[in-house]
Amino acid sequence: MAVFAFDNSYQRLPERFYRPASPAAARAPRLIRFNAALAEELNLDFARASDEELAAIFSGNSLPEGAAAIAMAYAGHQFGNFVPQLGDGRAILMGEVVDRDGQRRDIQLKGAGVTPFSRNGDGRAALGPVLREYLVSEAMQALGIPTTRALAAVLTGEAVHRETKLPGAVLTRVASSHIRIGTFQFFAARGDDEAIKALADHVIARHYPELEGLEQPYLALVNAVAARQADLVARWLSVGFIHGVMNTDNMAVSGETIDFGPCAFLDEYDPRKVFSSIDQRGRYAYANQPGIAQWNLARFAETLLPLMAAREEESVEAANAALTEFGRLFQARWLDLFRTKLGLVGEEEADLDLINSLLKSMQDSEADFTRTFRALGKVAGGAGDPVLEAEFADPIGAGDWLRRWRLRIEDDLRTPEERQVAMEAVNPAVIPRNHRIEEAIQAGLAGDFTVFERLHAALQSPYAEIPEFAAYQEKPAVEERVERTFCGT
């Protein structure tokens, strides 16, 4: 049986950073899926473990020796409203391990019962959200986007009560850390500058060691987190991802995508698209995400002001400059990614307009985001215009746009094949489409996990067109579209 070489650095922080929390016993744990490749990456040797042993560990029934067993404290702005105490209400940090590459990783049980931060919640997770998080977080990884990972999914053998009775499950989540903007806000709300300093130093040592010893490390930390978030959100937009609940407690300072609640990918392109049932005003709509990230970063910068320059005005000015820098970095990264998606090399003034006019035609035509870019790659590789036009309700608009695009790529010295290959490396063929996730969840609720397994397999090579998984490249028929997603609560 594997031994976890835990090294729980977060637990060595002051006691007010967390509360002890033990997993509740699960009546009849049953393994749904174990991520053996990730386990290896984490230096965990489970080669000889049986499914029963794995289910016992990753339901929380059999807590390994040396586990931290704590719930982390945090606060957060939820839809713009500040809540001074949230914390891990349905998550328990099992502990930290150092992986094969020397990187520290958190292992956390999500849905293993109440903690001191559960408030009125039951600390449990239902099967549906566990399967969704497993699929989408692993798909993000395969897409090459920074993300928390899924190590295991286990049925608890117990029901959880939501609107109806649902099977309970536990997701084991792996993250480079679970420290959120809201973790800083927890201490800022209490005027606890000492804790903010300890937390900031911990984050720098853990995620941004290159900042150690700088003259203004805390200002540099704001800048560094902003840079990673700018990169992350630009990448989200480049694959049509909508996080759905970008509250400050759901934004990790590491720059990983975290908390896959009502998240979803675009089918037809619409920048105003919102899936989350609780996001009635569209605060977290697709195109709002960079603005929201910047707003969240402003909240982050505020928590660090007490640690910055002695003169308050100067600190505020410097923090504002960091936020302006976020805007610049995001825009540059977005443009870079979309240039590559369109197969443009070099930079021309008119590129932004060329990109935006394609997006506008897609919106007018309800063109599928993923399929359109994939089709454009084929056209770049020598396929005829109808391949792209087929994605548009109005093929004339697509044809006009293609003429402009051809003029732009005229001087490109690459062969058509080379251009197509470069485009296909950023334009996925397979994404976790909402209706497919829903299908996997429904089958899972009926006790059949083969649909989940197959979808998971298809999502492992998102940039390849594998004949066996061709069906996953299809967009939903209008009546198959899933327009609403729900949080795991």
Give me the 113-132 binding string for ligand AMP, x by CB under 6 A, dash otherwise: -----x--xxxx--------
CB of 464 to ligand AMP, least distance (A): 33
CA angle 377, 382, 386 (to 5 degrees): 75
Residue closest to 456 by CA, chosen among 35, 128, 167, 169: 35
Mark out the alpha helices in 76-192 (DSSP H runs). 127-143, 181-188
Beta carbon nearer to ligand AMP, 23 or 123: 123
Our finding on whether 250 is near Mg ion (CB under 5 A) is: yes
CB of 292 to Mg ion, least distance (A): 15
The catalytically annotated residue of 249, 259, 279, 368 is 249
CB of 130 to ligand AMP, least distance (A): 12
- SS percent in the chain: helix, strand, coil, step 5: 45, 15, 40
Among 231, 259, 389, 391, binds ligand AMP (CB under 6 A): 259
Residue closest to 215 by CA, chosen among 318, 81, 343, 61: 318
CB of 124 to ligand AMP, least distance (A): 6
The token pair that represents 474 in the structure block: 């299809």
The token pair that represents 127 in the structure block: 């099967």
Beta carbon nearer to Mg ion, 56 or 93: 93
User: Does the annotation mark 249 as catalytic?
Assistant: yes
Query: Which residues, 230 to 249, sit near ligand AMP by CB under 6 A?
Result: 245
Q: How many whole angstroms separate alpha carbon 430 and alpha carbon 371?
A: 9
Q: How many whole angstroms separate alpha carbon 220 and alpha carbon 203?
A: 12
Beta carbon nearer to ligand AMP, 65 or 120: 120
Among 88, 133, 259, 424, binds Mg ion (CB under 5 A): 259
124 binds, among Mg ion, ligand AMP, none (CB under 5 to 8 A by kind): ligand AMP
Strand pairing category for 241-242 and 104-110: unpaired
Query: Which residues, 48 to 107, sit near ligand AMP by CB under 6 A?
Result: 86-90
Beta carbon nearer to Mg ion, 147 or 473: 147
3-state class (DSSP) for residue 368: strand
CB of 295 to ligand AMP, least distance (A): 17
Our finding on whether 170 is near ligand AMP (CB under 6 A) is: no
261 binds, among ligand AMP, Mg ion, none (CB under 5 to 8 A by kind): ligand AMP
Phi, psi of 106 (to 5 degrees): -80, 140
Q: How many whole angstroms separate alpha carbon 110 and alpha carbon 117?
A: 13
In the complex, residue closest to Mg ion by CB? 259
Residue closest to 275 by CA, chosen among 129, 486, 488: 486
Our finding on whether 487 is near ligand AMP (CB under 6 A) is: yes
Query: How many residues form the binding site for Mg ion (CB under 5 A)?
Result: 2
Strand pairing category for 149-161 and 165-175: antiparallel
Query: How many residues form the binding site for ligand AMP (CB under 6 A)?
Result: 17
Residue closest to 200 by CA, chosen among 188, 443, 22, 190: 188
Beta carbon nearer to ligand AMP, 113 or 428: 113
Our finding on whether 88 is near Mg ion (CB under 5 A) is: no
Cα 451 to Cα 195, 216, 335: the distances in Å are 47, 52, 37
Beta carbon nearer to ligand AMP, 87 or 428: 87
Our finding on whether 256 is near ligand AMP (CB under 6 A) is: no
CB of 95 to ligand AMP, least distance (A): 19
Beta carbon nearer to Mg ion, 13 or 83: 83
Residues 6 or more apart whose CB falls under 8 angstroms from that of 244 comprise: 261, 262, 263, 264, 274, 275, 276, 279, 284, 485
87 binds, among ligand AMP, Mg ion, none (CB under 5 to 8 A by kind): ligand AMP
Q: How many whole angstroms separate alpha carbon 349 and alpha carbon 329?
A: 17
489 binds, among Mg ion, ligand AMP, none (CB under 5 to 8 A by kind): ligand AMP
**Segment interacting with Mg ion (CB under 5 A) among 28-36, 248-256, 283-291, 368-376:** 248-256
Q: Where are the beta strands (DSSP E) in 221-272?
A: 241-242, 264-265
3-state class (DSSP) for residue 45: coil
3-state class (DSSP) for residue 343: coil
CB of 486 to ligand AMP, least distance (A): 11
391 binds, among ligand AMP, Mg ion, none (CB under 5 to 8 A by kind): none
**In the complex, which residues of this chain contact ligand AMP (CB under 6 A)?**
86-90, 118, 121-124, 245, 250, 259, 261, 487-489
Q: Which residues are catalytic?
A: 249
**In the complex, which residues of this chain contact Mg ion (CB under 5 A)?**
250, 259
